[in-house]
Chains A and B, each alone.
Chain A
Amino acid sequence: MSHWRAIVVAALLATAPALRAGEVPLEARRSGYSFMGPETRAMQDDDTANPGMLFVLDGESLWTKKVGVADKACADCHGDARSSMKGVAARYPAFDKTQGRPVTLDQRINLCRADHQQATPLPYESRDLLALSAFVAHQSRGLAITAGDDPQLKPFVAQGRDLFRQREGQLNLACTNCHDDNFDKRLAGAPITQAQPTGYPLYRLEWQTLGSLERRLRSCMTGVRAQAYDYGSPELVALELYLMSRARGLPMETPAVRP
Chain B
Amino acid sequence: MAAALINVPARAKRGDVIEIRTLTSHIMETGFRHTAAGDLVPRDIITSFTCRYNGIEIFHADLYPAIAANPYLSFFTVAKESGKFEFEWIGDNGYSSTASASITVE
Contacts and interface: CB of A to CB of B under 8 A. Distances in A.
A54 B68 contact: no
A61 B21 contact: no
Interface in A46-98: 46-49, 51, 53-54, 57-58, 61
B7 interface: yes
A34 interface: no
Interface residues of B, number: 16
A88 B103 CA distance: 37
A58 B70 CA distance: 14
B7 A48 contact: yes
B72 interface: yes
A49 B21 contact: yes
B5 interface: yes
Given A48-B21, A49-B21, A51-B23, A208 B28 contact: yes
Interface of B: 1, 3-7, 21, 23-25, 27-28, 68-70, 72
A207 to B, nearest CB: 9
Contacts of A208: 27-28, 68-70
Interface string A96-129: 0000000000000000000000000000000100
B70 to A, nearest CB: 4
Contacts of A57: 3, 5
A152 interface: no
Given A54-B23, A208-B28, A48 B69 contact: no
Contact of B70 (A47, A48, A51): A51
- The CB with the most chain A CB atoms within 10 A, among B7, B24, B28, B69, is that of B69
25 contacts: A46-B7, A48-B5, A48-B6, A49-B7, A49-B72, A51-B23, A51-B25, A51-B69, A51-B72, A54-B3, A54-B4, A54-B5, A54-B23, A54-B25, A54-B70, A57-B3, A57-B5, A58-B25, A208-B27, A208-B28, A208-B68, A208-B69, A208-B70, A209-B27, A209-B69
